[in-house]
A and B are shown apart, each in its own frame.
Chain A
Amino acid sequence: MIELFRNPNYDFIGKRKWAYIASIGFTLIALISLAARGGLRYDIDFTGGTLIQVRFERAPTIAQIRTSLGTIQLPGESIIQQFGDAQEFIIRLPLVAVGSEEIARRVQGALGTNDSLGKFEIRRVEFVGPQVGRELQLQALYLVLAGLIWIAIYLAIRFDMRGGVAAVVAVLHDVIVCLGALSLTNREFSLPVLAALLTIIGYSVNDTIVAYDRLRENRGKFVPKGRTFAQQMNDAVNQTLSRTILTSLTTFFSAAVLLFFGGRTLEDFAFVLFVGVITGTYSTTYVAAALVVDWTSYVEGRLRRGKKAVAKA
């Protein structure tokens, strides 16, 4: 039998002070990166605009493409990026009054007249109008909020309010870290990224549930005398450790495979999953469980002090 851990008994909860510092540190880095770059970089799904994906038979340079596009007057500032391999490029144009078909036609014309570029194929044209983009930004925010509320309600019903709030804080931490990672690597916030984020919201809470479940099961049984709540939580985390690591590993494999073999279109999506699986596993113990422990000891401490005060009077 291969075993990752044999009766693990690490002191996770005891080290939570360091973990708080790390979590706050990660969150701060994420927030600072987001602030420094002026918020998320939204892709055209959210901002509106035109995107044209072109594949050339011979790999051109960005400068070559830019010069040939310079011959037609494209409104606004266009962005040209390599996409996937060296032959494939994406041209992004901001929202303008001219229709998308007109722009796509002009781009096609301009690229066609430049013989040095060789043969090419327009593989994708996307146009998103201003109305749609603005609606989507709001909708994305609602979706993430709805996801968090769903988690909070589910956990509050299945366990208790404390567990629910702590889990939501943990998930929120994951969301912020994921967004920070996006911002640090200068990736765009697109619809697939939104989908990945919601998946992480659902996924991250999984490990938390497993640990909570175990804690409750243990407390229902015989608890050795003198075991503090913090120690009981630590036991629960240790008992579910191999399962947590194993499932995180398999999901991590899947996300890694998508990241490396899924193609450029899925890259950002897979990246968020990749980061999210890691931070989701971490936050179970070091954000959710740790918060529940401190919250409970705070409440119990106040109760005890309250009782003492009553006794004195």
Chain B
Amino acid sequence: MPRHLRVRIAFVLLVVAVSVWYLYPLKSALNLGLDLQGGIHLMLGVEADKHVASQTDRTAEDLKKALERKGIGVQRVAREGNSTIQVELASPQSWNDALTAVAEFSTFTRRDENQAAGRFKLVMVDRQISQLRDDAVRQGLETIRNRVDQFGVAEPTITRQGADQILIQLPGIQDPARAKALIGKTALLEFKMLDDQTSVEQAQAGQLPETSELLYGRETDKQTKAERKVPYVVQKRTLLTGAELTRAEVQADPNSLGNWQVAIEFTAAGTRIFGEITEQNVGKRLAIVLDGNVYSAPRINERIPSGRAVITGHFTVDDARDLAIVLRAGALPAPVVLLEERTVGPSLGADSIRQGLIAITASAVVVFIFMLVYYRLSGLIADVALGLNLLMLLAFMAAIRATLTLPGLAGIALTVGMAVDTNILIFERIREELRLGKTPRSAIEAGFRRAFRTIVDTHLTVMGTAIILLSFGTSSVKGFGVSLFIGLGASLFTAYFFTRLLFDLVYMTRRKLERVSI
């Protein structure tokens, strides 16, 4: 009688039960990759240096104000590179006063001092730079998550990758272009005055004052649907940004039927600033600029104390809704660039699933029949073991919430071919021992024992390469590595535990064993 037969049967039954439990219900147990269920995969790179640069700009502005407040004349305060501020004093006499004022900006250190010329540089300390870069990515991630949540996507994945990349996976999206526009928009809303001293013609001829810039707005012709670019000369100074918003809602545009607008409301501080701007600039035009594009430039008729405004721009309801979402979720601290995109339509995903299943089934059927014909009853044992192998593979993938991708399905199909290798090794060995004239009982014993080392070797080498694949960042290759690795692990278990158990049950429990069907 083989040893511990009852315990081993109980253990295998337990494994089967746990596997089935993890796989039930099958539809929701397996986490399908985007290539199978359709969706968007985006890898965004955060231009974190731009955040550092804009913070340096802000500090330069503050510094200039601080110096002027103390009565220190300034010739020039300007950013150089991403993290350096160049300071030129009006006269070297105020050197010492300037140094005292500058000492308050503790995140910068002084360099390249030239007291005689009244010149020095301020360089941001490295710790602050890395902090800001980190902030840019973290805040960017939060903002994008916020936007996606408001857009309404089931089970999105939004994670940080490496130092400055953000991975976004949106399964089952119907309109990828719209989702991409929503996510990738910096959404920096700025209010700036139009420069009424400079005409568009002058600006286009290159006669642009240093404090102004040429920006464009887009207008769509109602009849021809053709887009037209409208130039505006806008003052560079930003008076108010979207950071001061509390509310952004979609409304029907009362002045133009079928168009929509976004109503915004400022915070208390924003309301005060907005009131001041409108009071001081009655009769002038205020440009509403989003990511460098002028949306509209209404004329200010009177002071607006309520802190309410509307952004118009011939929006469709979807455009207006998306704009409201990005305004509510806030601007990205730094622009993002698209590094990688993979969009798969739902119909292609369904096709891939179908083809993957056909491949797995065909592969399994061929191998099943082959083993049955070649090894007869022992082949049937191997086939049952192969079935358990597949069951365990899928259950384990469900248990660790691994993602099943198309290459993953290929990995499963391949595992089918490779997993019987263990059984073939054992069976060939048993046949050999039989040929040497051993009794069936001792041939089975010897076959299992002798094949063991070789089986461990062959599994470890392929599992090793599977681990190398796992370390690879790209999800499709990873999916293949996962299923290959788990498949081989399961094969090691089934061949050695389950095949052996079946052999023990079928042959070793017999009182008299005369021949083995192998």
| Cβ of A271 to closest chain B Cβ, rounded Å | 12
Given contact pairs A1-B431, A1-B518, A154-B460, A262 touches B359 in the complex (Cβ within 8 A):
yes
Shortest distance in angstroms between B441's beta carbon and chain A's nearest beta carbon?
18
Q: Which residue of B lies closest to A214 (CB)?
A: B454
B360-402 contacts to A (CB < 8 Å): 362-363, 366-367, 370-371, 373-374
Given contacts A150-B468, A206-B421, A257-B413, contact A199 B367 (CB under 8 A): no
Q: Could you tell me the distance in whole angstroms from the C-beta of A171 to the nearest C-beta in chain B? A: 10
Query: Are A198 and B461 within 8 A (Cβ)?
Result: no
The answer on a CB contact under 8 Å between A239 and B363 is: no
Chain B 472-489 per-residue mask, 1 if CB under 8 angstroms from chain A, else 0: 111011001100100000
B58 at the interface (CB under 8 A from A): no
Shortest CB distance A196–B (Å): 8
- Contact check, A158 vs B477: say whether CB atoms are below 8 A apart: no
Chain B minimum-CB-distance residue to A104? B177
**Chain B, range 332-363, C-beta contacts under 8 Å to A:** 337-345, 347-348, 351-352, 355-356, 358-359, 362-363
Residues of chain B contacted by A158 (CB below 8 angstroms): 457
The answer to whether A56 has its CB under 8 Å from any CB of chain B is no
Is there contact, CB below 8 Å, between A250 and B421? yes
With A and B bound together, what is the CA distance between A33 and B351 in angstroms?
34
Are B367 and A254 closer than 8 Å at their CB atoms? yes
Q: How far is the CA of A105 from the CA of B181 in the complex (A)?
A: 12
Within 8 A of A (CB), among B37-71: 43, 45
- The reply to whether A127 and B370 form a contact with Cβ atoms under 8 Å apart is no
A129 touches B337 (CB 8 A): yes
B469 x A209 contact (CB < 8 A): no
Q: How many angstroms from the CA of A7 to the CA of B464 in the assembled complex? A: 34
Contact of A262 with B356 in the complex, beta carbons under 8 Å: yes
A265 to B425 alpha-carbon distance, docked (Å)? 33
**Is B428 interfacial (CB 8 A cutoff)?**
yes
Q: How far is the CB of B372 from chain A (nearest CB, A)?
A: 11
Beta-carbon contact of A195 and B481 below 8 Å: yes
Please state if B338 and A199 are interface contacts (CB–CB under 8 Å).
no
A191 at the interface (CB under 8 A from B): yes
Chain B 110-126 interface residues, beta-carbon cutoff 8 Å to A: none
* CB of A45, distance to nearest CB on chain B (Å): 8
Q: How many residues on chain B are close to A (CB under 8 Å)?
A: 70
In the assembled complex, which residues on chain B have CB atoms less than 8 Å from the CB atom of A184? none
- Tell me the interface secondary structure of chain B in the complex: helix
* Also in contact, A131 and B339, with CB within 8 A (given A124-B348, A209-B461, A253-B363): yes
Which residue in chain A gives the minimum CB-CB distance to B179?
A101
**Chain A: minimal CB distance from B120 (Å):** 37
The answer to whether B465 and A100 have CB atoms under 8 Å apart is no
Report B414-437 CB contacts with A as 1/0, cut-off 8 Å.
101110110011001001100100
- The docked-state distance in angstroms from the alpha carbon of A23 to that of B18 is 49
Residues in chain A near residue B45, CB distance under 8 A: 129, 131
- A52-97 with Cβ < 8 A to chain B: 53, 55
Interface string of A107-145 (1 = CB under 8 A from B): 000000000000001111111110110001001000100
Residues on B with C-beta less than 8 A from A2 are: 373-374
Q: Select which of B177, B420, B431, B465 is within 8 A of A150 by beta carbon.
A: B465
- Select one of B338, B356, B370, B416 contacting A129, CB under 8 A: B338
Cβ distance A242 to chain B, nearest Cβ, rounded Å: 6
For the complex, give the distance between the alpha carbons of A300 and B373 in Å. 46
For the complex, what is the distance from the CA of A110 to the CA of B460, rounded to whole Å? 53
Would you call A121 and B347 a contact (CB within 8 A)? yes
Q: Does A273 contact B (CB under 8 A)?
A: yes
Contact of A266 among B340, B410, B465 (CB under 8 A): B410
**Nearest CB of chain B from residue A249's CB, rounded to whole Å:** 7
Cα A210 to Cα B421 in complex, Å, equals: 11
Bound-state CA distance A253–B371 (Å) is: 12
With known contacts A210-B458, A246-B424, A261-B359, A127–B468 Cβ distance under 8 A: no
Is A189 an interface position by the 8 A CB rule? no
Residue pair B418, A191 in contact (C-beta under 8 Å): no
**CB-CB nearest in chain B for A270:** B410
Minimum distance in angstroms from A267 CB to a CB of chain B: 10
**Closest beta carbon of chain B to A3's beta carbon, Å:** 8
Known contacts A198-B469, A202-B464, A210-B454, A192 near B480 by CB under 8 Å: yes
Q: Are A143 and B176 in contact (CB under 8 A)?
A: no
> B180 on the interface (CB 8 Å rule)?
yes
Which B residues between 263 and 305 are near A, CB-CB below 8 angstroms? none
Q: Are A136 and B417 in contact (CB under 8 A)?
A: no
Mark out the residues of chain B between 175 and 224 whose CB falls within 8 Å of any chain A CB in the assembled complex.
176-177, 180-181
> What distance in Å separates the Cβ of B231 from its nearest Cβ neighbour in chain A?
21
Q: Taking CB as reference atom, which chain A residue is nearest B374?
A: A2
CB-based contact A199/B359 at 8 Å: no
Q: Nearest CB to that of B407 among chain A residues?
A: A192
- Write the chain A residue with the least CB distance to B367: A250
Residue of B nearest to A191 (CB): B477
CA distance A270 to B339 in the complex (A): 28
Q: At the interface, yes or no: B76 with Cβ under 8 Å from chain A?
A: no
Please report which residues of chain A, range 260-277, place their CB below 8 angstroms from some CB of chain B when the two chains form the complex. Answer: 261-263, 265-266, 269-270, 273
Question: Whole-angstrom distance between the alpha carbons of A1 and B460 in the complex?
Answer: 31
Inter-chain CA distance A123–B348, complex, in Å, is: 6
A128 and B340 in contact (CB under 8 A), knowing A191-B477, A195-B477, A254-B414?
yes
Question: Across the interface, which residues of A come within 8 angstroms of B453, CB to CB?
Answer: 213
> Given A143-B468, A192-B480, do A126 and B414 touch, yes or no (CB 8 Å)?
no
B43 near A132: Cβ-Cβ < 8 Å: yes
Question: How distant is the Cα of A263 from the Cα of B356 in the complex, in angstroms?
Answer: 8
Complex CA distance for A266 and B181, rounded to whole angstroms: 31
Contact B370 A258 (CB under 8 A): no
Q: Which 4 residue pairs are nearest across A and B when measured between Cβ atoms?
A: A254-B417, A202-B465, A263-B355, A202-B462
New A-B contacts (9) at CB < 8 Å, excluding given A101-B181, A213-B457, A253-B366: A101-B180, A126-B341, A154-B460, A194-B477, A195-B480, A206-B421, A250-B371, A258-B414, A262-B413
A-B contact pairs, 17 of them (CB 8 A): A121-B345, A124-B348, A127-B341, A150-B465, A154-B464, A191-B476, A192-B407, A195-B469, A199-B465, A210-B458, A246-B428, A247-B425, A250-B417, A250-B418, A258-B410, A261-B359, A269-B410
Chain B residues near A (Cβ < 8 Å): 43, 45, 176-177, 180-181, 337-345, 347-348, 351-352, 355-356, 358-359, 362-363, 366-367, 370-371, 373-374, 406-407, 410, 413-414, 416-418, 420-421, 424-425, 428, 431-432, 435, 450, 453-454, 457-458, 460-466, 468-469, 472-474, 476-477, 480-481, 484, 518
